[in-house]
Structures are given as C-alpha cells and as structure tokens.
Amino acid sequence: MATPTLTMIPSGYKAEKVYSVLPTNGDGDFTFDRNSPGTRVNKDGLIEQVATDVPRLDYSDGSCPSLLLEPTSTNLAGYSEDFSQGWSAGNSTVTTNQTTSPGGDLTADKFIPTNTNQPRVERAFTVPATNTTFTFSVFVKKISTPYVAIALFDGSDNIDAIFNLDTKAVVSSSSEDASIKEMNNGWFRISMTQTVLSTDTDNIWKILNSNGSSAFVGVIGEETFIWGAQLEELPYLSSYIPTPTNSSASRSAETFSNDFSSQPTVANTNTVVLKFIPMGFSTDFYELLRFSDGTNEIALEGFQTNNYDVYGSGLVGGGMTAGSLSLNAGSINTISFSYSGTSLRFSHNGSTIAINTPTGNLPTITEVSHSVGGLSPIKILDLRVYNDFKTQEELNTLTTI
Amino acid sequence: MGLHIGKYRFNSKEQAESKIEGLGIAQDENGNNYPTHKHTVTKLGYEVLEEAVYDEEEVISETIFGDGYLVDVLWRDLEADENEEIDHPYGWKSYEVDINNEGIHGFLGLKYQDLKF
C-alpha cells in the first residue's frame, strides 16, 4: 500500500507544536495554541494541568493517547473540589479530604446520607436569560453503595439520571442525555445534560445518594466519594476545569493547523483515514477537522444529534454520507473517504457507508486544520492522508478498528 | 506569546456584544458566526447585586441584577503602541474594572493579578 503523504499519531509535541510522523522533513507538523492551561488524563490515569500552548495528549480512552482539541468552556461551579463550601448538604453530611482524588491528591470528599428523603449535595445557579443547555458532571467513587444520581430542579420539576457504579451504566434518565465514564482507581465521571428555560424559576443541580429505583430516595449510611463538580453551558461534557475558589473558571479554545503542500503530486485525488472520538457538538455544521488545498475545503462536521458528515467544496448539499454516519459521543471510530475527480467512497469501522459522485473537483489536500470557523471538540488518535484513490475494499480494511 | 487579563463592565449586553464583535467576527457558509481573533472572551452576564435566597427548594428572594454587563477577556498577543506599551484594544479601556482580588471568574491556571494591565 502507498505511503501516506501525512501521518499524525499523537506522540511528539512541545509548546505550540504537534509533530507528524510523515513527512519526516517537518512540513506536516502542526502549529498549536491554547491561551490558558487545560487538564488532561496522563498516562498514569491521573488528571493533571497542562500549561498554556502545550498540546494535551489524553489517556482517558486507553493506553494510546489522543490529541484533545476543545472549544472554550467555563465551569460555573466554584469550589469544584470542596463540597463544604459553596454547596449545601441536605439530609446528608460531607466530610472533606477523605481519599485520593482523580488528580492524585487527598482532596476527595465523603458524602454520607443521613435521611432517606433526597439525601443530596446541591448548588443553585442563576437562571439563564435565554433557554440554555447545561451539562453537569462530577467524579464519584463507590464506598458502599453503587447508586448515585444527578438531578436538576427547575422550580417545578426534577429531572434526573441514576447511575450504577458496579455495572458502569446509566440505570435510568429523564434528562436529555446522561453518561458514565470509568476513570482510574475506581473513579467514574458521571454527567447529565438538560436545557433550563428562561421561564424556569430555579436552576438547582444536585448530587444524590439513590436506592437505585428513585433518584430521590436514598439509603442512610450508604456512602460515596465525590470530587470535581462541573457545570458548563454546553450540550456535551468537556474536560475538567478546576475551580479552587468560589469563582467560575474558563479554559481557552484550542486550534491547530498545518501545511504540507510540498508533498502531493496527483491533483484532486486523496484518501483520508481518521481514527477519532467525537465528543458532541453545540451547533450544526461546527467543524471537527478541515481538509483544504488553501482555497477549497471539505470538513468533518456535526449535524443534528449524533449525525456526522463531510461537507464542502465539490459535494452535494447532503455531503459525503447523506446522513448515514451516526456516531455516539465518546466512542472510538475510524472513518475513511477516498476520491478521484469523478468517484468518491466512504467507509466507517470496516463497512461501506457511501459511494457517490462529486459534483465538482474536490481539493487536493495540503492543509489540515482545526482552527477556522465554529469548532466542535474532537480527540484524534490517528490521522493519515494519502495522495491516491483507494478501492472500497482497501478503505474497509483501513477502517477496521 | 503575551497574555493579559482584562475585566470589563459594559452598560448593556448589547454594548458588550458590539465590542466583542468589533474584535473580529466572520460568518461561515452555514450562517454561523465565529471569532476571527485569538482572544478568549467570557461573558459573565449582568452583574449580580444580590444572590437569590432559597429555603430548601423554595425561592425566598429572587436574584437582583444590576445594569452592568460583565465580560472577562484573556487577551493574546496584543500589539504594543508607539511607546512600546501594551494596552486594552481601542474602545475597551474606559469599561475596565480594576479590582484587587481575582473576582468572580478566572481563567484556568492563570492569575488576574499577575496578568492585568
């Protein structure tokens, strides 16, 4: 099989730079920036802070790191690691600094129900001026009970999600979305997404002990460790933003881009193979990655819930896959598309997704970027660009995870 | 790389958004606006004069908002003027709020007191 003109497997980096494996002369290296520090899961499974402009190679999805690229976000929940300040304990007690946190220090708190009626730690936030979708998350670790819940009280209704830390599953949810992700050392990050209306009277988010059947009925004495709460105005979960005081805190957006125009020779002919993790998106058509010749471009974008596609120059309005690529946030996927002047093929995880005809010339890819326009988050595990047109069988082989 | 943090209090949300748009904005082919600058702008909303008070889930008193609309900006690589000094972009300085603590919002891992103008 031909050698890629560009190969980027996240490994080598320094401040403002992500190195590509190919080309070896450095032409394919990426320029990177992020105004503020950010956090990542390091190879020891611990959450750590990474300095301004240093790329985040994140190990939260296994032993192979991914390059984490996120838009800006703000954690509105102050005292994210201290539930004795800024938070209210109802029918429960909180004892601070009881065990090692996901960050590796002794800052995780113990949450102890003292009554079966809605034992909780909660915090009230300002009701938004316009309808706003929030995602609330917290790290939890089992002591005695596997059940923990998140809920939102909007002034008239409780919306909730119950999680089982033994089965590592969402037991039930009345929210727009809920997720559970296993971390290191028995920790899980649980989250719930829900829209708060401007007409709601409350915006109160709760962490609850649950009996497993109801989010609002707990079991006295069934304890849980909690740490790292986060409330953000996003319809998806982003990386952890610590708030050591009662103030909110923001992480800056990340951008990266390269130019390897010294490499390609065959015009309007390319194959892209991308192993990645979509992480949700806030706005239709916000880009995950752009592939360009400097003038014309095509881009991997989100469109409506869980639906992804490649749109852009030389394609019909429905893009490459015409709605046939539905991906769950947080899942590892490999996609590949290949085209010559008159033919286009698309593969996902070893299966054919689309075979169609471009409406015009597709770009000869010489630039890859996550820097222009509205952006959606992505974790890149492996990116390769070939300057050739491959068979569908070859594509399906390349996308077999 | 040069970073500065500015805290601003505008007269209204509309004025704040106008100032933010003035930093550079473009529209993609799908009609979505996006910034063309590299600064990090965080809208904090109208200033809260008094927090809401709750008794369990009952609202005892609502949040009282002021007229000022608050914005924090993490400025990146601002150009120095003819005197080799770096200042707020044109039109922002008169809305600056200079406080002696970190305030109600910060940027992850960075100190306002270290990076303010």
How many whole angstroms separate alpha carbon A370 and alpha carbon A256? 5
Sign (positive or negative) of CA dihedral A142, A144, A150, A153: negative
CA distance A201 to chain B (A): 8
Q: Which residues of A touch B59 (CB under 8 A)?
A: 155, 201-202
How distant is the Cα of A249 from the closest Cα of chain B, in angstroms? 5
What are the b/e assignments for A67-83, b being 16+ CB within 10 Å?
A: bbbbbbbbbbbbbbbbb
Name the token pair of B84.
Answer: 């080799």
CA atoms of A169 and B117, how far apart (whole Å): 49
Report the C-alpha gap between A209 and A211 in whole angstroms: 7
Q: Which residues, 6 or more positions from A281, have their beta carbon under 8 angstroms from its beta carbon?
A: A235, A236, A288, A302, A376, A377
CA distance B92 to chain A (A): 20
Closest CB to A241: pick one of B59, B104, B108: B108
DSSP string of B17-75? HHHHHHT-EEE-TTS-EEE-S--EEEEEEEEEEE--EEETTEEEE--EEEEEEEEEEEE
DSSP assignment of A148-165, as one string?
Answer: EEEEEE-SS-EEEEEEET
Token pair listed for B110 = 């960075």
Asked if residue B15 lies in contact with residue B49, where contact means CB atoms within 8 angstroms, the answer is no
**B108 near A CB under 8 A:** yes
The tokens 């490499």 sit on which residue? A263
Chain A contact for B104 (CB, 8 A cutoff): yes
pLDDT of residue B10: 98
Task: Give, rounded to a whole angstrom, the gap between the first and last alpha carbons of chain B.
Answer: 15
Decide if A245 touches B, using CB distance below 8 A.
Answer: yes
CATH for A6-72+253-398 is 2.60.120.200
Q: Does A250 touch chain B (CB under 8 A)?
A: yes
For A2, which DSSP code?
Answer: P
A326 φ/ψ angles, rounded to the nearest 5 degrees = -105, 120
How much of chain A is helix, strand and coil, in % rounded to 5? 0, 45, 50
- Cα B16–Cα B1–Cα A9 angle in degrees, nearest 5: 105
Residue carrying the six token digits 């360009």: A292
Could you please report the per-residue DSSP string of A354-390? EEE--SSPPP---EEEE-SSSB--EEEEEEEEESS--
Q: Give chain A positions within 8 Å (CB) of B48.
A: 126
Give the C-alpha separation, A155 to A276, whole Å: 40
Q: How far is CA B28 from CA A279, B31, B97, in A?
A: 22, 5, 34
Best interface-test mutation with B: which of A33, A35, A125, A256 has the largest number of B CBs within 10 A?
A35
Give chain A's length: 401
Looking at beta carbons, which residues of chain A come within 8 Å of B42? Answer: 72, 74, 250
How does pLDDT run along chain A (401 residues), one tens digit per residue? Answer: 789 999 999 999 999 999 999 999 999 999 999 999 999 999 999 999 999 999 999 999 988 999 999 999 999 999 999 999 999 999 999 999 999 999 999 999 999 999 999 999 999 999 998 999 999 999 999 999 999 999 999 999 999 999 999 999 999 999 999 999 999 999 999 999 999 999 999 999 999 999 999 999 999 999 999 999 999 999 999 999 999 999 999 999 999 999 999 988 899 999 999 999 999 999 999 999 999 999 999 999 999 989 999 999 999 999 999 999 999 999 999 999 999 988 999 999 999 999 999 998 899 999 999 998 899 999 999 999 999 999 999 999 999 97
pTM of the model: 0.96
Say yes or no: A274 contacts chain B, CB-CB below 8 A: no
First to last CA, chain A: 18
Residue at B77: amino acid letter = D
A74-250: which CATH topology?
A: Jelly Rolls (2.60.120)
Q: Write the CA distances from B115 to A145, A191, B81, B112, integer angstroms.
A: 45, 33, 18, 5
Least CB–CB distance from A36: residue in B52, B63, B74: B74
Distance CA A281, CA A185 (A): 29
Q: How confident is the model at residue B84 (pLDDT cuts 50, 70, 90)?
A: confident
3-state secondary structure of A70: coil
Taking contacts as CB-CB distances below 8 angstroms, the residues of chain B near A255 are: 38
Burial A175-213 (b: 16+ CB within 10 A, else e): bbbbbbbebeeebbbbbbbbbbeeebbbbbbbbbbbbbe
Return residue ranges of chain A for CATH 2.60.120.200.
6-72+253-398
Facing residue for A202 by CB, picked from B30, B33, B57? B57
The CB density around residue B54, as the number of other CB atoms within 10 Å, is 16
Contacts of A49 in chain B (CB under 8 A): 108-109
CB-nearest partner of A249 from B52, B59, B108:
B108
Chain B: nearest CA to A4, how far in angstroms? 30
Question: Residue A309 and residue A289: Cα distance in Å, rounded?
Answer: 11
What residues contact A170, with CB distance under 8 A and at least 6 apart? A161, A162, A163, A164, A178, A179, A180
Model confidence at B108, in pLDDT bands (50, 70, 90)?
very high
- Strand A248-251 and strand B105-107: the pairing is parallel
The answer, yes or no, to whether residue B94 has pLDDT greater than 90, is: yes
SS3 A132: strand
Placement of tokens 């749109």 in the chain: A311
> Which of A39, A252, A257 is the best mutation test for B, with the most CBs of B within 10 A?
A252
Q: What confidence tens digit (pLDDT) does each residue in B28-59 have?
A: 877 888 999 999 999 999 999 988 887 777 77
The Cα of A128 is separated from the nearest Cα of chain B by a number of Å equal to 9
Would the CB atoms of A247 and B108 count as touching at under 8 Å?
no
Encode pLDDT of A320-360 as tens digits.
999 999 999 999 999 999 999 889 999 999 999 999 999 98
Judging contacts by C-beta atoms under 8 Å, the chain B residues touching residue A51 are: 109
- State whether residue A13 is helix, strand or coil: strand
Residues A250, B28: C-beta atoms closer than 8 Å: no
pLDDT at B60: 84
**Residues 24 to 43 of B: which have CB under 8 A from any A CB?**
26, 28, 30, 32-34, 38-40, 42
CB atoms under 10 Å from CB of A382, counted, come to 17
Domain boundaries for CATH 2.60.120.260 within chain A: 74-250
